[in-house]
Amino acid sequence: MELAITLDNRLSEPLHRQLYEELRRAILSCRLKPGERLPSTRALANSLGVSRATVTLGYEQLIAEGYLEAVIGSGTRVCGQLPDDLLRSVPVNQPQTESFALNGSKSCGIKLSAYGEYLDDSKPLEGIDPDLPISFRTGRPALEEFPIAEWRRLLLRHCRTASERLLDYAPEMRGDPQLRAAICSYLGRSRAVRCSVDQIIIINGSQQAIDLVTKLLIERGDTVAVENPGYLGARRAFWAQGAKLAPIPVDENGIVVETLDSKAAAQAKLVYVTPSHQFPTGAMLPLQRRLELLKWAERRGAVIIEDDYDSEFRFGSRPIPALQGLSDGNNVIYVGTFSKVLFPSLRIGYMVVPESLVRVFTRARWIADRQTPTLEQLALADFLNEGHLERHLRRTRTLYDKRRHALIRALTLHFEDRVEVLGENAGLHLMARLQTNFSDEEVVLRAAEVGVGLLSAKIYYLHEARSGEFVFGYGGLSERRISEGIKRLAKALR
Ligand SMILES: Cc1ncc(COP(=O)(O)O)c(C=O)c1O
């Protein structure tokens, strides 16, 4: 019997423990059925290339927990009678078809919704191996620069009051009023967003905003226009809801607005854009195109999601007002986050919604997950009101500017005329077109072999992807590591 099991001896978890987990998962998902016989310890050890003791230890643990039984003379089998708590979730007596048995949760007879079916796709989500020592992953700020002592002081200040207000459900579903007021004035000053405090809803990061907009505005089969290439987090949320995606090309000035009039996008109810720093190309949408986009949305009665995820970091270029502030705001939902300016696990973002949608968004948010934790909201309000955010931004802007220069310098030094750098005027990442003798997949593999993690931009394209484009996040890497990473990459591609 062949068992598809993967053990990785680079992991800190012992091999017998990995084997135990793999087999347990196979039993729970009914890939291994009750009564099914397992290979002998010797045969499995040989096929996995591990010692027999490893397999014996894994089997013994599963026997002790009641997943396997050792039957004298006929080897080791999956128990006919699984432990009680498993019986409740795994209908072992239910007849199972072959396709049932192969499909994870479906094997247990639980019917997923279309949304669940979409998310249950067996392909792993793309990303960079977290163990690679020099990782050009996107969206990671300089965490070592975060003023943690200040943050701790602010958290403690509110903990000391130990008031019931801190512990209870929040009376205001849109989020703490002080924090919303602080965000409102910050957005007015720095992004020319025009709104009242009433229109601001605190959320758990911008991904939640995208999710709520999708749930409230999109029916199965509706068309959503998305930048191509574009942000996967948004695209996945639209797809999972059953939306049809209309890819709109992006050039060096961002989304090509006139394509929104094409047949594919004609019915679009929603368009998702990253105008201040297009993800992943880094293009900045000029004023003229912003106005055209707003006109298009107004003409069509469509809604624009303006994802302003990292526009605080601009280098040299003048800020262009947010789409939201250039219009009466009736067709724009503006989304911002503290994930890049502070740290991602904070999980605090905000959305500015048209007045007419405030009630429904507030209710949807309450139904989704109630609220953002009060303690962090109070500390964050102080962080903004006492000027710590502005100070942190000033410091990190200089730092990222240096890191960005180090990256461009290293790319030019090592790749000379075989590199074209795009979108370097803002944000925490840039895109580079590299001319090499390798496919994108080979470039990523060769990079990983020398300890460098990077992503091909192919994954961000719908349909025909351009090759030779790579995305380099530099926010979380020191200048020294950036130079070393590019040096290693160039050597690996020689
Ligand atoms: C374009 C874009 N939008 C939104 C997000 C999500 O941010 P959050 O952590 O606020 O959910 C990311 C994360 O990297 C991003 O790249």
Could you read off the pLDDT of 273-319 as tens digits, one per residue? 999 999 999 999 999 999 999 999 999 999 999 999 998 998 877 78
Domain span(s) for CATH 3.90.1150.10 in the chain: 134-144+391-492
CA–centroid distance, residue 212 to ligand 1 (Å)? 15
Which pair of structure tokens corresponds to residue 449? Answer: 């072999």
Q: Which residue, by CA, sits nearest to atom 14 of ligand 1?
A: 139
> Span 221-234, mean pLDDT?
97
The reported pLDDT for the residue numbered 83 is 64
CA–centroid distance, residue 293 to ligand 1 (Å)? 22
* CB distance 284 to 310 below 8 Å: no
CATH number of the structural domain 134-144+391-492: 3.90.1150.10
Cβ atoms within 10 A of the Cβ of 13, count?
A: 12
Q: 71 forms bridges with which residues in the sheet?
A: 75
Ligand 1: residue of 128, 207, 369 to mutate (most ligand atoms within 8 A of CB) is: 207
Q: How far apart are CA 98 and CA 490, in angstroms?
A: 48
| Residues with a CB atom less than 6 Å from ligand 1 | 139, 205-207, 231, 233, 274, 279, 307, 309, 337, 339, 344, 349
pLDDT digits (tens, 9 = 90+) for 434-485: 999 999 999 999 999 999 999 999 999 998 889 999 999 999 999 999 999 9
The reported pLDDT for the residue numbered 161 is 85
Domain span(s) for CATH 3.40.640.10 in the chain: 147-388
CATH number of the structural domain 15-111: 1.10.10.10
Above 50 in pLDDT, residue 100? no
CA–centroid distance, residue 380 to ligand 1 (Å)? 19
> Span 262-275, mean pLDDT?
95
Ligand 1: residue of 339, 340, 350, 372 to mutate (most ligand atoms within 8 A of CB) is: 339
Domain span(s) for CATH 1.10.10.10 in the chain: 15-111
Q: Assess if CATH 2.20.25.90 describes domain 147-388.
A: no
The dihedral sign for the CA sequence 262, 263, 264, 269 = positive
Ligand 1: residue of 273, 309, 335 to mutate (most ligand atoms within 8 A of CB) is: 309
Q: Which amino acid is at 421?
A: V
> Span 197-212, mean pLDDT?
98
* CB distance 89 to 71 below 8 Å: no
